[in-house]
Amino acid sequence: MNLKEIKEVIALMNKNKLEEIEIEKGDWKIHLRKKGKKIVQPVGLREVSKKPLSDLKQEEKFKQIKSPIVGTFYRASSSDAEPFVEMGDEIEKDQTLCIIEAMKVMNEIKSEAKGKIKEILVKNGEAVEFDQPLFLIDDYTD
């Protein structure tokens, strides 16, 4: 299953006002549940850690780059590679910021704007939720 298919499933959930959906096809399985409900994570993923909402509200002046999928966050393409970005780095639109592994597929997450990395909100190897903030950037496009 690729990112486009996952987004289609999410759109289907929203259109039909579904609270939860589970799909199995061949050797993969996806289980989605709406926010506010108990999240069931795939076996082997650690508990998701997030900043308190009060911290995020103080940082509203920065653009948030959010996770488009549920998966595992990686800062580099491999364990011995340099991270894609560091705090303070100047970034370009469509520059790769990280990888999120979902169902053994490596999905590159790219910057939506030109700017400067102000904070990396997730640690390497952590599980992330759909729409969870990953990075804060000073957006230079405005």
Tell me the two tokens of residue 132.
Answer: 């969870």
Q: Average pLDDT for consecutive 10-residue bins of the chain (142 residues)?
A: 76 78 74 61 43 51 89 93 94 94 91 91 93 87 54
Tell me the residue type at 55.
Answer: D
Res 52: pLDDT: 53
Domain ranges of the chain: 1-40, 45-139
Q: Are 108 and 96 in contact (CB under 8 A)?
A: yes
Other CB atoms closer than 10 Å to residue 136's CB: what's the count?
23
Q: State how far the Cα of 142 lies from the Cα of 131, in Å rounded to an integer.
A: 22
pTM of the model: 0.58
Tell me the residue type at 64.
Answer: Q
Query: Which residues are CB-contacts of 83 (< 8 A; sequence separation ≥ 6)?
Result: 75, 76, 124
CATH level 2 (architecture), domain 45-139: Beta Barrel (2.40)
Instruction: Give the pairing of strands 71-74 and 105-110.
Output: unpaired
Res 44: pLDDT: 40
Q: Are 119 and 135 in contact (CB under 8 A)?
A: yes
Res 103: pLDDT: 87
- Residue matched to tokens 């488009």: 68
Q: State how far the Cα of 83 lies from the Cα of 37, in Å rounded to an integer.
A: 33
